[in-house]
A and B are shown apart, each in its own frame.
Chain A
Amino acid sequence: MTTQTKRRIIKALVVLVLLGGAGALFGWYKFFREVEQPAFADESERFKYGSIGAEFSRGIPYWIWVVMPRIFPDLMPGPGGYKAFGLVWEEGKELPVGFSKKVVGFPRVANNCAICHVGTWRSKEEEVPHVVVAAPSHTVDVQGMIRFLAKAGSDSRFNAGNILAEIARETKLSFIDKQLYRFVIIPMMRTALRQQEKQFLWMNRPGWPNWGPGRDDPMNLTKYFMTSQPVDNSTGQADFPSNWNLQSRKGTNLFLNWSCDTPSVHSVLIDSALGLGAAPDKNNRLSYPIDLLNWKLTRREWFKKRMDDLDDFLSKLPPPRYPFPIDASLAAQGKPIYNRSCSECHEVGKPRTNKPIPIDEIGTDRERLDTWTKAAADQANEAVKNLGIVRPDMVKNFGYCSPPLDGIWMRAPYLHNGSVPTLRDLLEPVAARPASFYRGFDVYDPMNVGFVTQGLSAARTGWKNDVKERGNGNQGHNYGTTLSSDEKKALLEYLKTF
């Protein structure tokens, strides 16, 4: 090799390295540069709109998220953009509650805990809903949203031409950004949505029960996304729980989740957040290596801190007070009845509170219990360990949990599967409980303690829950059903004070 050739090769190499470096820098800046969210006024705002770290692997490009309902109105359950999924959308706020916006290269939108844990109530239809942080999001149809995204992703209208034309009505993207959207972001988003559709096939089996608003299938989601367990025949649609006052769920040998699948508040927070997309996404093969690198280098530590903060906030957060008048003397009469009939399992500190009540004893619908297995628990623990996170392990129990009743008025409908619309109905024997009712309507019914679940308005806004469907059974928990009508009244009044 002559010196001239050598020199040329060296020159070429230097140019290549420089170009590669510039390209990498550009790629990092446009796709992976993380910008912290602006500070939040308080922890409650942060809970509603703050990131839990899901934007990196599960974030939807903000502008695509904005225009999708405008391009695919026919794939939505009704008019009203994302509001059609029953989302809580506070006045003047850019995003619905439970959505966080963060720049990772470009602005992205992902979900946080509040998507399932911020609820609303109204005293009448003609009223702006009151927003309650950490209440079950009983109006939010998560399954509907998942299905919408899947349908949109596999629709032929999901293409750069349509999407960029719609985006152009809202913002002027730079030439470079437009090309990135056209050739990278939109095609990748489409691939991701189509892939996601496949991952959710199990819940779209024909005749399979729908979640409806305010519910999901938590342990099957955990099973199919965190472990390698095969798809089985179980269905475990369950109510979103409240997650205020978590202090009362802490203690040795106390459990959370409807079937006591987790022995620690911290584990529940971590696993839920990982499930929402904070963990690196293995299924996205293209970005997984970078995702994993990001997780190991920065995100993991940030995530741990975020979970600590969240634990702190939710542990101390008090339950919401009952907003309607309470008859104090009647409530006082109810107290001994509560002590007699309920406190054994529902009073903080009592031996059976936050514990699995064996299924044969409680007698409620067992489908949810059966979705979770020891094998799944072991694999999930392994998966979390592999991510470099230490937390108490998930377990398998054989009964349903007996949680404290803080803020019980805002936790309707009742039982783990939300099969009983009001507290009054829960005190009735199974035969007298409503066989079908509408859930997802947020006008409150102070008479029966629960939301309005019958009538035209409830039918228009809500989703019909049929207790005969698999997993929806309203049997069991036959406690207090034999009380006299006056006793029930007094007990109800007392429960309002929780």
Chain B
Amino acid sequence: MALDRAQLMNLSQAELDDLFKRSSAGNIPEGEGSGTALVCPATCCGKIIAWFARWFCWQGKVFHGKEGWLVNRVSPFSFQAIKAKVYQDKSWLDGNECIVLDYSKTSLVAKMVRDEIREVAPGLYLGKVYWGRKRLIDFMVSFQYEPARKCWRRTWATLGLLGVIVITYLGVRLTSDRPVTYDNLVEHFKYGSTGGERTSGIPISLWKVIPKLFAGYLPGNGLQSLGFVYEEGKEFPIGTSRRTVQGIDRIFLNCAVCHVGTVRDTAESKPRIIVGMPANTVDLQAFQRFLSACAADENFNAKRIMDEVAKQKTDDRLNRVLLRFLGIDLMRQRLLTLRQRFTFMDREPDYGPGRVDTFNAPKVLLNFRMDNLPTNEWVGICDFPSVWNQRKRKGMHLHWDGNNDSVEERNRSASFGTGATPPTLDRASIKRMEEWLLDAAPPPYPYSIDRALVTKGEPLYLEYCARCHGKNGSDFTGELVGKVTPIEEIKTDRHRLDSYSSDLCANQNLLYAAYPEDRFKHFRKTFGYANQPLDGLWLRAPYLHNGSVPTLRDLLEPTEQRPKVFYRGYDVYEAKRVGFVSNVAQEGPKKFFNVDTELPGNGNFGHDGKEYGTDLSAEDKDAIVEYMKTF
């Protein structure tokens, strides 16, 4: 029986060589023959290579024997290309006659190639490929069959190739994870990523259109009306970071949203942005409620939103399809889940700008049953703190109730608020922020200071305050600095203290458990509030952990004489009493938040009595306040 293609495929290299040598040159063929590459002959690998070669590279040769030339069928599309001259000559292999396919004169790309073929069976030619004088591989050209299924092959090959390209492209695109980065550390703190966008990120196109589509849920014009701080020429507010995840540009909050604030000298002056101070104007609760309201609105659907997004021309077609059929719905569901889980907020007084309920949120994260929470844990409102000088704070009891004494762990804990979970936290990025925070310092008090009064105030401060709050704004030494003063002693509003429970503390031990070095180990249940150093004190108004006392001067008054009701969220400074202007309800369209100290969690009592300086004369109090301006 004559040899056929399949049998040839199973011959080893030696057998092929032997067969070639035993065969005569045969006639120069005519017409189209289908080709098969013989690489690593007689192995499984060889078959796969032959298959790939036929699909993507070379399907056969079209002989014009009489005219003495041929052309190959190459590429997935079987183009006729790469010509060769065909003639009989001596073989380089054994010196006998063979048919030579000579590319040297006809083809630029295959100039170095010379093939030798012999007819090993009727209509079946075995060939050897030479590159220069070097032997490469074998191949065969068969005329035993009609050149088959060319059309199919082309289709498959094309689809296959396209498939590979598309899959590679999608693979690269959908696994993309690139934050927008900043070389400058301060810029990095303001706009750098904590990794939260990876799971919580809002597609930027939605971030842009939602305030327009749902303007009715905002108190004023755009997100600015929620107190977000925008720098001139910047499209996104301070405290937002961006990252491309799965090919979609996303945005979410970072640390700066709560720790960058503004100060104005007068209502007419421009706001000064101060990095590291409490975000005195930002109403995070209102932002959250705004998003919840949007998600619950019937207009929060793919059609309404995507029509608007299409106008933005920010997203390509693929992203728009993903958003339309997946993204919008997922985001809606997530927001509604959050809304449902955060209903605990509705049981406590509104936070207003510059405040948050820190430790009921992690209970939600751990999915505690908030409806069964002991009532004394319900209210946990407290001020955003300043974040300067972390190096000097190492080892102190951090957080208002001093429940953690590790700066890094406290930072990881706070990162949950920016959406960063243990697997998604961008550790390198956080580390850069941490490094900056270690030595970041507050700006000095910019208004006039009465030096004589300062001299008078210093000894008073040292007598009354230094033991718990440090010698001054940069020297934090003091017997009780960074320690917890029991609630029976400090007597301030205890809601924030009680909202942090030993149950939560226990469960926090499991956070970051997948990363043993990072696992939370430093949380403690305390029974008082921690004594804080007073760096940059002038920027930290209103005072006490719950921001219940508008100015420093008020804090030195006994409880009854502190303002019962005042406004917060206004960034115009009141230099005389040291704090922000707190008796203005409205500026233009912007309404400020009314703090009612009678409400649970808002109590302005405590930190009161002889040892806290509230019994001093007015002049002495003025002097202490003057001294504290230098912090």
Residues of A within 8 A of B (CB): 66, 69-71, 73-74, 76, 78-84, 87, 89, 91-96, 126-128, 168-172, 460
Q: 17 A–B contact pairs at CB < 8 A?
A: A66-B513, A73-B369, A76-B369, A80-B501, A80-B504, A87-B506, A92-B522, A92-B523, A94-B510, A94-B519, A96-B506, A128-B502, A169-B421, A169-B423, A170-B423, A171-B423, A460-B374
Q: Is B524 an interface residue (CB 8 A)?
A: yes
Q: Is the CB of B510 within 8 A of A91?
A: no
Q: Is the CB of B372 within 8 A of A78?
A: yes
Residues of B within 8 A of A82 (CB): 506-507
Residues of A within 8 A of B502 (CB): 83, 128
Q: Is the CB of A80 within 8 A of B507?
A: yes
Q: Is the CB of A94 within 8 A of B509?
A: yes
Residues of A within 8 A of B523 (CB): 91-92
Q: Is B111 an interface residue (CB 8 A)?
A: no
Q: Is B201 an interface residue (CB 8 A)?
A: no
Q: Is the CB of B372 within 8 A of A79?
A: yes
Q: Is the CB of A84 within 8 A of B422?
A: no
Q: Is the CB of A92 within 8 A of B373?
A: no
Q: Which of A71, A92, A128, A169 contacts B509 (CB 8 A)?
A: A92
Q: Is the CB of A71 within 8 A of B367?
A: yes
Expressed in whole angstroms, the minimum distance between the Cβ of A68 and any Cβ of chain B is 11
Q: Is the CB of A70 within 8 A of B366?
A: yes
> Which single residue of chain B is at the shortest CB-CB distance from A129?
B502
| Interchain CA distance A127-B487 in the complex, whole Å | 12
Q: Which of B367, B509, B522, B525 contacts A70 (CB 8 A)?
A: B367
Please report which residues of chain B, range 488-518, place their CB below 8 angstroms from some CB of chain A when the two chains form the complex: 501-507, 509-514
Q: Is B527 an interface residue (CB 8 A)?
A: yes
Q: Is the CB of A73 within 8 A of B510?
A: no
Q: Is B553 an interface residue (CB 8 A)?
A: no
- Per-residue 0/1 for B526-559: is the Cβ within 8 Å of any A Cβ (1 yes, 0 no)? 0100000000000000000000000000000000
Q: Is the CB of B513 within 8 A of A79?
A: no
Expressed in whole angstroms, the minimum distance between the Cβ of A312 and any Cβ of chain B is 30
Q: Is B363 an interface residue (CB 8 A)?
A: yes
Known pairs A81-B366, A91-B505, A170-B514; list 8 more (Cβ under 8 Å): A69-B366, A71-B367, A73-B368, A79-B503, A81-B368, A81-B510, A128-B502, A171-B422
Q: Is the CB of A168 within 8 A of B366?
A: no
Q: Which of A81, A126, A172 contacts B503 (CB 8 A)?
A: A81
Q: Is the CB of A171 within 8 A of B514?
A: yes
Q: Is the CB of A79 within 8 A of B363?
A: yes
Q: Is B370 an interface residue (CB 8 A)?
A: yes
Chain B CB count within 10 A is highest, among A81, A83, A95, for A81
> Which single residue of chain A is at the shortest CB-CB distance from B503?
A80
Residues of B within 8 A of A84 (CB): 503
> Which single residue of chain B is at the shortest CB-CB distance from A79?
B368
Q: Which of B370, B421, B503, B527 contacts A170 (CB 8 A)?
A: B421
| Interchain CA distance A170-B513 in the complex, whole Å | 7
Q: Is the CB of B513 within 8 A of A80?
A: no
- Per-residue 0/1 for B347-388: is the Cβ within 8 Å of any A Cβ (1 yes, 0 no)? 000000000000000010011111011100000000000000
> Which single residue of chain A is at the shortest CB-CB distance from B515?
A171
Residues of A within 8 A of B374 (CB): 460
Expressed in whole angstroms, the minimum distance between the Cβ of B497 and any Cβ of chain A is 10
Q: Which of A87, A92, A127 contacts B521 (CB 8 A)?
A: A92
The prevalent SS among residues of B at the interface is loop
Residues of A within 8 A of B506 (CB): 80-83, 87, 89, 96
Q: Is the CB of A168 within 8 A of B373?
A: no
Residues of B within 8 A of A126 (CB): 487, 527
Chain A CB count within 10 A is highest, among B373, B503, B504, B506, for B506
| Interchain CA distance A127-B524 in the complex, whole Å | 11
Q: Is the CB of B369 within 8 A of A78?
A: yes
**What 7 A-B pairs are tightest by C-beta distance, nearest first?**
A80-B503, A171-B514, A79-B368, A89-B506, A92-B521, A70-B367, A172-B423
| Interchain CA distance A343-B605 in the complex, whole Å | 57
Expressed in whole angstroms, the minimum distance between the Cβ of B499 and any Cβ of chain A is 12
Expressed in whole angstroms, the minimum distance between the Cβ of A155 and any Cβ of chain B is 14
Given A66-B513, A80-B501: A91 and B524 within 8 A (CB)? yes
> Which single residue of chain B is at the shortest CB-CB distance from A76?
B369
Residues of B within 8 A of A93 (CB): 509
Given A71-B367, A170-B423, A460-B374: A81 and B513 within 8 A (CB)? no
> Which single residue of chain A is at the shortest CB-CB distance from B526?
A128
| Interchain CA distance A87-B523 in the complex, whole Å | 18
Q: Is the CB of B522 within 8 A of A81?
A: no
Q: Which of B423, B501, B505, B524 contacts A168 (CB 8 A)?
A: B423
| Interchain CA distance A95-B370 in the complex, whole Å | 23
> Which single residue of chain A is at the shortest CB-CB distance from B373?
A79
| Interchain CA distance A71-B369 in the complex, whole Å | 11
Q: Is the CB of A73 within 8 A of B509?
A: no
| Interchain CA distance A89-B514 in the complex, whole Å | 19
| Interchain CA distance A169-B369 in the complex, whole Å | 19
Residues of B within 8 A of A81 (CB): 366, 368, 503, 506-507, 510
| Interchain CA distance A70-B423 in the complex, whole Å | 17
Chain B CB count within 10 A is highest, among A71, A89, A96, for A89
Chain B CB count within 10 A is highest, among A71, A91, A96, A127, for A91
| Interchain CA distance A113-B523 in the complex, whole Å | 26
> Which single residue of chain B is at the shortest CB-CB distance from A101?
B513
Given A81-B503, A94-B513: A73 and B423 within 8 A (CB)? no
Expressed in whole angstroms, the minimum distance between the Cβ of B440 and any Cβ of chain A is 29
| Interchain CA distance A128-B514 in the complex, whole Å | 27
| Interchain CA distance A128-B524 in the complex, whole Å | 9
Residues of B within 8 A of A79 (CB): 363, 368-370, 372-373, 503
| Interchain CA distance A53-B178 in the complex, whole Å | 46
| Interchain CA distance A171-B367 in the complex, whole Å | 17
Residues of B within 8 A of A169 (CB): 421-423
Residues of B within 8 A of A78 (CB): 369, 372
Residues of A within 8 A of B487 (CB): 126
Residues of A within 8 A of B367 (CB): 69-71, 73
| Interchain CA distance A92-B594 in the complex, whole Å | 40
Residues of B within 8 A of A71 (CB): 367
Expressed in whole angstroms, the minimum distance between the Cβ of B495 and any Cβ of chain A is 15
> Which single residue of chain A is at the shortest CB-CB distance from B507?
A81
Residues of A within 8 A of B510 (CB): 66, 81, 94, 170
Residues of B within 8 A of A74 (CB): 369
Expressed in whole angstroms, the minimum distance between the Cβ of B176 and any Cβ of chain A is 17
Residues of A within 8 A of B421 (CB): 169-170
> Which single residue of chain B is at the shortest CB-CB distance from A127?
B527
Chain A CB count within 10 A is highest, among B363, B510, B521, for B510
- Per-residue 0/1 for B600-617: is the Cβ within 8 Å of any A Cβ (1 yes, 0 no)? 000000000000000000
Residues of A within 8 A of B512 (CB): 170
Q: Which of A76, A128, A170, A171 contacts B525 (CB 8 A)?
A: A128
Residues of A within 8 A of B514 (CB): 170-172
Residues of A within 8 A of B370 (CB): 79
Q: Is the CB of B509 within 8 A of A89?
A: yes
| Interchain CA distance A73-B365 in the complex, whole Å | 12
Expressed in whole angstroms, the minimum distance between the Cβ of A4 and any Cβ of chain B is 13
| Interchain CA distance A96-B507 in the complex, whole Å | 9
Residues of B within 8 A of A172 (CB): 423, 514
| Interchain CA distance A169-B510 in the complex, whole Å | 12
Residues of B within 8 A of A127 (CB): 527
| Interchain CA distance A89-B370 in the complex, whole Å | 21
> Which single residue of chain A is at the shortest CB-CB distance from B421?
A169
| Interchain CA distance A70-B421 in the complex, whole Å | 15
Residues of B within 8 A of A83 (CB): 502-503, 506-507
| Interchain CA distance A70-B365 in the complex, whole Å | 8
Expressed in whole angstroms, the minimum distance between the Cβ of B186 and any Cβ of chain A is 31
Expressed in whole angstroms, the minimum distance between the Cβ of A299 and any Cβ of chain B is 26
> Which single residue of chain B is at the shortest CB-CB distance from A89?
B506
Residues of A within 8 A of B522 (CB): 92
Q: Is the CB of A80 within 8 A of B368?
A: yes
| Interchain CA distance A171-B423 in the complex, whole Å | 5
> Which single residue of chain A is at the shortest CB-CB distance from B510?
A66
Expressed in whole angstroms, the minimum distance between the Cβ of A139 and any Cβ of chain B is 12
